[in-house]
């Protein structure tokens, strides 16, 4: 099959593109997303990239750096033997080679325990892990106005469906390609919002970013992996499913954002569990992270595990 743009052989299908044109397409799609949502307004602005050493965040660091954005990397070491230690080693080399500033913060040092230790008490470990990850990213990105994550179209389609399946209406209303600009909080942006995981893998492979494609050993136990497999099956049968989920979501989102107060009041009547998550964003009294009550989930958990 030929490339849609030239006579070369296509190395990617739908769209059919040769190596050169695929790379162009991938980078342009990222830039278009940044422009569409006004994620980064000028290239001097210092952007913190949440980097794990996996393909998504390394590809994101690479594209932003290549396109002249002012990036620094922040990595979290959860303490997963045979998995994170390897990807962080790669990240360190990568950042050194491209002269990107890198900070690494570990659960062991900041929380007191690694996720390998915590997984014995909390299973699946993903919820606890996600809470601490957000917490540490938050704590250590305060000096930046924006933090970029490698979330891709697959991740976002999964998140939409997960919130629907769990009836988490207000979390549903709050997700999306970027968070609001609220004083005192670092804004979160997702430049890969419309990019498929498969596209990231192809891009990383073509550019010789020798990344381990291995999955976190704890991931197969999570609700997300169930939703992921299900959406992947759908996408195989009906191409465009992932994009449909996300575009449909974005159409609803505008109205939901205007009515977020109303949605939250209504949801309060239905679910006590989600109630905490629905309060307007405040600052945790312990750590200053975004929080709905007095003390954030991470700080409560920290106390619990160190008790």
Read out DSSP for 155-197?
HHHHHHHHHHHTT-HHHHHH-SSB----TTSPEEE-TTTT--H
Q: Considering only the stretches 31-39, 243-251, 266-274, 277-285, report the one whose residues sit in contact with Zn ion under the rule CB under 5 A.
A: 277-285
- Please identify, using beta-carbon distances, which residue of 217 and 290 lies nearer to Zn ion: 290
Q: Is 286 in the site for Zn ion (CB under 5 A)?
A: yes
DSSP state of 268: H
The CA distance from 250 to 181, in Å, is: 18
Strands 282-283 and 290-291: antiparallel
Q: Is 195 in the site for Zn ion (CB under 5 A)?
A: no
Angle between helices 55-66 and 84-97 (to 10 degrees): 10
Exactly one of 91, 296, 301, 302 binds Zn ion (CB under 5 A); that residue is: 296
Q: Is 5 in the site for Zn ion (CB under 5 A)?
A: yes
Q: Is 281 in the site for Zn ion (CB under 5 A)?
A: no
Strands 70-77 and 102-106: parallel
- Please identify, using beta-carbon distances, which residue of 21 and 146 lies nearer to Zn ion: 21
| Residues paired with 30 in a beta bridge | none
The CA distance from 53 to 34, in Å, is: 22
Q: Is 111 in the site for Zn ion (CB under 5 A)?
A: no
Helices (H), 67-140: 84-97, 107-110, 115-118, 126-139
Query: Least distance in Å: CB of 213 to Zn ion?
Result: 25
Residues sharing a CB contact under 8 Å with residue 163, sequence separation 6 or more, in sequence order: 169, 171, 172, 175
The CA distance from 36 to 38, in Å, is: 6
3-state secondary structure (DSSP) of residue 77: strand
- Please identify, using beta-carbon distances, which residue of 219 and 305 lies nearer to Zn ion: 305
Exactly one of 207, 221, 277, 287 binds Zn ion (CB under 5 A); that residue is: 287
Q: Is 21 in the site for Zn ion (CB under 5 A)?
A: yes
Q: Is 6 in the site for Zn ion (CB under 5 A)?
A: yes
Query: Least distance in Å: CB of 158 to Zn ion?
Result: 27
Q: Considering only the stretches 55-63, 71-79, 108-116, 285-293, report the one whose residues sit in contact with Zn ion under the rule CB under 5 A.
A: 285-293
The CA distance from 147 to 71, in Å, is: 10
Residues 144-163 contacting Zn ion, CB under 5 A: none
- Please identify, using beta-carbon distances, which residue of 121 and 285 lies nearer to Zn ion: 285
Q: Is 18 in the site for Zn ion (CB under 5 A)?
A: yes
Q: Is 19 in the site for Zn ion (CB under 5 A)?
A: no
Query: Least distance in Å: CB of 12 to Zn ion?
Result: 10
Total of residues contacting Zn ion (CB under 5 A): 12
Q: Give, in order, the Cα–Cα distances in Å from 306 to each of 75, 76, 301.
A: 23, 20, 8
- Please identify, using beta-carbon distances, which residue of 5 and 166 lies nearer to Zn ion: 5
Binding stretches for Zn ion (CB under 5 A): 3, 5-6, 8, 18, 21, 284, 286-287, 289, 296, 299
């Amino acid at each position: 099959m030929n490339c849609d743009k030239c006579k070369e052989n296509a190395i990617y299908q739908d769209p059919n593109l040769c190596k050169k044109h695929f790379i162009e397409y991938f980078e342009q799609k990222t830039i278009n997303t940044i422009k569409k949502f006004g994620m980064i307004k000028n290239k001097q602005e210092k952007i913190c990239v949440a980097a794990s050493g996996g393909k998504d965040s390394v590809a994101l660091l690479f594209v932003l750096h290549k396109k002249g954005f002012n990036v620094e990397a922040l990595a979290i070491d959860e303490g997963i033997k045979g998995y994170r230690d390897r990807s962080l080693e790669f990240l360190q080399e990568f950042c050194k080679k491209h002269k990107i500033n890198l900070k690494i913060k570990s659960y062991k040092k900041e929380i007191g325990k690694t996720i390998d230790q915590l997984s014995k008490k909390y299973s699946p470990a993903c919820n606890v892990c996600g809470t601490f990850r957000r917490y540490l990213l938050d704590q250590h990105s305060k000096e930046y106005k924006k933090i970029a994550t490698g979330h891709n179209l697959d991740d976002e389609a999964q998140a939409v469906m997960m919130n629907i399946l769990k009836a988490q209406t207000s979390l549903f209303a709050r997700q999306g390609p970027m968070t609001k600009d609220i004083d005192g909080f670092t804004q979160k942006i997702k430049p890969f919002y419309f990019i498929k995981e498969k596209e990231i893998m192809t891009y990383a492979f073509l550019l010789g970013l020798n990344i381990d494609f291995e999955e976190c050993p704890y991931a197969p136990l999570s609700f997300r992996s169930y939703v992921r497999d299900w959406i992947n099956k759908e996408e195989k049968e009906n191409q465009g499913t992932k994009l449909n989920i996300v575009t449909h979501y974005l159409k609803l989102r505008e109205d939901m954002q205007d009515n977020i107060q109303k949605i939250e009041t209504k949801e309060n009547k239905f679910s006590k569990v989600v109630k905490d998550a629905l309060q307007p964003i405040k600052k945790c009294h312990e750590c200053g992270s975004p929080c709905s009550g007095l003390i954030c989930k991470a700080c409560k958990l920290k106390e619990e595990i160190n008790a």
